[in-house]
Structure 1
Amino acid sequence: MIDFARVQKELVECSKDSEGSGIKVSQKSDDLVQLMGIIPGPVDTPYAGGTFQIDITLPEGYPFEPPKMQFKTKVWHPNISSQSGAICLDILKDQWSPALTLKTALLSVQALLSAPQPDDPQDAVVAKQYLEHYQTFVSTARYWTESFAKASTRGIEDKVQKLVEMGFPEAQVRNILEAVGGDENLALEKLL
């Protein structure tokens, strides 16, 4: 049975430090089973400047079983599937401990972006490129970050303005747009 009191406490802890760490976790549904994690791309990596969304599903046995995490934002990385967003990381599998939290799991995923493990790949094509053509890997990873993980600020501001003009509170509009990756139609559905 999921310990919902602990999940609530973890969400509060994440929100306290989100400005400093850039790591956020928010609810996608009322039941606290479907969550959305956000991590910034680490500095001095091809992912720098990007904001990456990660779908989080809590299993029935959480915190004794690891959360299921999958990148929603497309990313070019040996340990993350370029097709499905599946993540190959030991703490999300057999090295999970109930002492870990959603935030520490997201920090570990962020650290994985800084230190790929091409010898234990999730995406063999990316791992091969990383090992055999490193500069091409870096260029591709940067391109994917630019294309998929960097939202145009101007575009977001236009969407916020449009939804505020419809009568929705600006803070709520910004939170929902962030949670849905800037998808204006999905944001409107959630606001209604």
Structure 2
Amino acid sequence: MENAVPEFARRLYKEWRDFTAEPVEGIQLMLNDQDMTEVQVVLDGPVGTPYDGGKFRLKMLIPMQYPMEPPKAYFCTKIFHPNIAPNTGEVCVNTLKKDWKSNLGLRHILLTIRCLLIEPNPESALNEEAGKLLLEDYSEFVAEARLLTEVHAYWHVREQAKVSSQKMHQDDHASVDMSGNSTDARTHSKVTQRNNSSFRKALKRL
């Protein structure tokens, strides 16, 4: 019986296992068992760049002819970068085009994209504004790239702050409940004492 698993899926799964066995710091790679044609990635912004501290979500669309044909890579997190299209997030890098070879793989692609964040190529710009700023006013380019990173790629910081806030709220609520229960207990004790005293006085009058 012919194996029903496509060749590209077997190749992808092997690459994922190899990546999991020897991970790259700052890069998370996730396969979708239900749809092997789309690979999810979370890439940490490289230290010393305007993207430092951000976490960028990417997707790679894998053709059925992979690895004979290269994947397409897209930033799902908005980013200001000469080689990343501002509207679609498509990544422009030679590795995914004319320089692609079938012996390359996901690890090589992701390392190349990370290098692209460290050393943008303004001569091959999909974002013309970013490319122009990089060449003519580097400090302004850094400021704009940093701003978009803080607005769009700090989602993990906001999620952590939200979780911490919820935990503090739950702890405060628990403290109020405990305090309220303690007050209720003291009030109940005083009422019981008064009732017992009244009962004893009533017995004496009998």
Could you say which residue in structure 1 is the equivalent of 2:11?
6
Alignment CA distance shift 1:13-1:161 (3 Å): farther
Measure, in 1, the Cα distance between the counterparts of 2:64 and 2:164: 36
Task: Looking at secondary structure, tell me which structure has more helix per residue.
Answer: 2
Q: Compute the displacement of 1:24 (Å).
A: 1.7
Could you say which residue in structure 2 is the equivalent of 1:53?
57
Measure, in 2, the Cα distance between the counterparts of 1:105 and 1:10: 12
Aligned length: 161
Could you say which residue in structure 2 is the equivalent of 1:126?
130
Could you say which residue in structure 2 is the equivalent of 1:26?
30
Could you say which residue in structure 2 is the equivalent of 1:165?
none
1:114 matches 2:118: yes
Measure, in 2, the Cα distance between the counterparts of 1:136 and 1:153: 25
Alignment CA distance shift 1:58-1:132 (3 Å): same
Counterpart AA for 1:5: R
Q: Compute the displacement of 1:3 (Å).
A: 2.1
The one-character-per-residue Cα deviations of 1:104-146 (angstroms, maximum 9, x if unpaired) are 1011001000001101111111111111111010011111111
1:39 matches 2:43: yes
1:82 partner SS = coil
Matches within 5 A, 1:109-188: 109-153=113-157, 155-156=159-160, 158=162
Measure, in 1, the Cα distance between the counterparts of 2:134 and 2:28: 29
Q: In structure 2, list runs of 5 or more residues that go unmatched.
A: 1-5, 167-206
2:124 partner SS = coil
CA RMSD in angstroms, aligned pairs only: 2.1
Measure, in 2, the Cα distance between the counterparts of 1:108 and 1:129: 22
Q: Compute the displacement of 1:157 (Å).
A: 6.7
Match of 2:21 among 9, 16, 22: 16
Q: In structure 1, list runs of 5 or more residues that go unmatched.
A: 163-192
Q: Compute the displacement of 1:154 (Å).
A: 5.4
1:15 partner SS = helix
1:100 partner SS = coil
Kept in 2, the 8 Å contact 1:29–1:35? The answer is: no
1:67 matches 2:71: yes
Kept in 2, the 8 Å contact 1:70–1:86? The answer is: yes
Kept in 1, the 8 Å contact 2:74–2:90? The answer is: yes
Kept in 1, the 8 Å contact 2:72–2:90? The answer is: no
Larger Rg: 2
Bigger shift: residues 145-154 or 39-48: 145-154
TM-score (norm. length: structure 2): 0.71
Alignment CA distance shift 1:159-1:9 (3 Å): farther
Measure, in 2, the Cα distance between the counterparts of 1:39 and 1:154: 17
Measure, in 1, the Cα distance between the counterparts of 2:163 and 2:11: 35
Could you say which residue in structure 2 is the equivalent of 1:166?
none
